[in-house]
Homo-oligomer: A and B are copies of this chain.
Amino acid sequence: MHNSVEPLHSDRAFAAPSRLEDLPTPCLILDETRMNRNIARLKSRIHGLGAILRPHLKTAKSVEVARRLMESPQGPAAVSTLKEAEQFANVGVKDILYAVGIAPGKLGRVAALRAQGVDLAVLLDSLDQARAVAVKSREIGAPIPALIEIDADGHRSGVKPGDPVLVEIGRALEDGGAALRGVMAHAGDSYNTRYTAEIVAAADQERAAVLRSAAGLREVGLPCPIISVGSTPTAHFGRDLSGVTEVRAGVFVFFDLMMVGLGVCQIDDIALSVLATVIGHQRDKGQILVDAGWMAMSADRGTAKQEVDQGFGLIGDIDGRPYPDLILSDANHEHGIISVRTGSDANLPELEVGSLVRILPNHACATGAQHDRYHVVTDGSRRLEAIWPRFSGW
């Protein structure tokens, strides 16, 4: 339902906007120059270390962005929902990893995609799931490939490296009629680090966890063709990918203030912003009101736990150049409150009612998800180059 975009204001007597100044606000702006630079940077890094990129398409949920992210039009790609798998399969992506633990009730949709010629692999970390995948494989008469999730850092899910259940899961898949495709780890705790050295250590730990797990599987004669690691921080700071076949990362395509806080990127690498209009002032409180609240920004307060709390976002001018210490200090449904960061002596800029600002997000995945299209510009230009739809849902 969300995979096409109607012409803007198609039902109204307005010309389609061709410049940022004419867009209805709030809306999502994508700087393609920065995005392309972010993609080139990570691809070059990973290729230099001898692996390939399996971009996580959950961040963008856009066919246009996916085509710029992937190594080839057929993939590989990682997704977080079957809706993404179906949408990207529809445009020819063939090598997809559904990188969230599989629920048995979802295997029907997995099988349907595989029957269409899509090499969709699932992820699991329990014998129950392995048995369900095996049952479905026998039912459809074709092996469904599964990766075993490895818990590298106690972050969330996965089997601990060295846990004997790993081999049991592998056997349940292979002996049951499914296929063991490999192992995968996600160093999710790298998002909670404060120093680069910790990210480097997290990358080492992530790689060590999958290598140890793969060795344990291969030792008993089980196959393990794919060895997959990844998170945006570890992908940018890991020093060694020997033995690893692929790296997954998602948010790097746009970057955001959380990644700035981790030192993974600079503010002028952030490719995503929300265009908003000033709708009022509370001058005695040093506040400017805009028409972008949490509905436009998301309620994500990820930088609250970092050294620099960016509120609900960092305020830039219409060209995306940040004002000193100016943040979206609070957000209601469709109201955002702009003020100077606590402790700063920066001045509140003069922004009269109707002025436009661009708000850089804490978390690009969450902010993007609040919108159904990208308004694409190139760096430093206000000309609207394209509108790319993005989809949502499951």
A residues adjacent to B (C-beta < 8 A): 1-2, 4-6, 9, 11-14, 24-27, 58, 80-82, 86, 100-106, 108-109, 112, 125-126, 128-129, 132, 151, 154, 156-157, 188, 277-282, 285, 289, 291, 294-296, 298-301, 332-335, 337, 352-354, 363, 365-366, 369-372, 392-394
Contact A334 B100 (CB under 8 A): yes
Task: Give the shortest distance, in Å, between A28 (CB) and chain B (any CB).
Answer: 10
Sampled A-B contacts (24; CB under 8 Å): A1-B372, A2-B2, A2-B372, A24-B105, A24-B106, A27-B394, A80-B295, A80-B334, A101-B280, A101-B291, A103-B353, A104-B353, A105-B354, A126-B281, A129-B279, A151-B282, A156-B337, A157-B280, A157-B289, A298-B299, A299-B301, A299-B363, A369-B370, A372-B392
- Residue of chain B at shortest CB distance from A109: B12
Contact A279 B58 (CB under 8 A): no
Instruction: Report how far A101 CA is from B291 CA in the complex, Å.
Output: 8
Instruction: Report how far A335 CA is from B156 CA in the complex, Å.
Output: 8
Which residues of chain B come closer than 8 Å to A125, judged between CB atoms?
280
Which residues of chain B come closer than 8 Å to A298, judged between CB atoms?
298-299
Instruction: Report how far A371 CA is from B369 CA in the complex, Å.
Output: 11
Indicate the member of A14, A58, A101 with the most B CB atoms within 10 Å: A101
Partner of A1, one of B4, B24, B151: B4
Partner of A279, one of B1, B81, B103: B103
Task: Give the shortest distance, in Å, between A190 (CB) and chain B (any CB).
Answer: 13
Contact B300 A156 (CB under 8 A): no
**Given pairs A25-B394, A128-B353, 18 additional interface contacts (CB within 8 A):** A2-B2, A13-B112, A26-B394, A27-B394, A80-B333, A100-B279, A101-B279, A103-B277, A126-B353, A128-B354, A129-B280, A156-B289, A157-B335, A188-B332, A294-B300, A298-B299, A299-B300, A370-B392
Which residues of chain B come closer than 8 Å to A132, judged between CB atoms?
353-354
Task: Give the shortest distance, in Å, between A61 (CB) and chain B (any CB).
Answer: 10
Which residues of chain B come closer than 8 Å to A365, judged between CB atoms?
333
Instruction: Report how far A258 CA is from B369 CA in the complex, Å.
Output: 23
Contact B1 A101 (CB under 8 A): no
Which residues of chain B come closer than 8 Å to A280, judged between CB atoms?
101, 125-126, 129, 157
Which residues of chain B come closer than 8 Å to A277, judged between CB atoms?
103, 105-106
Which residues of chain B come closer than 8 Å to A300, judged between CB atoms?
294, 299
Instruction: Report how far A393 CA is from B390 CA in the complex, Å.
Output: 12
The 6 closest A-B pairs by CB, nearest first: A101-B279, A103-B277, A299-B299, A299-B300, A80-B334, A128-B353
Question: A103-B354, A128-B352 in contact; A6/B1 too (CB < 8 A)?
Answer: yes
Task: Give the shortest distance, in Å, between A12 (CB) and chain B (any CB).
Answer: 5
Which residues of chain B come closer than 8 Å to A81, judged between CB atoms?
334
Indicate the member of A12, A27, A82, A298 with the most B CB atoms within 10 Å: A298
Instruction: Report how far A314 CA is from B132 CA in the complex, Å.
Output: 28
Which residues of chain B come closer than 8 Å to A27, judged between CB atoms?
394
Contact B100 A299 (CB under 8 A): no
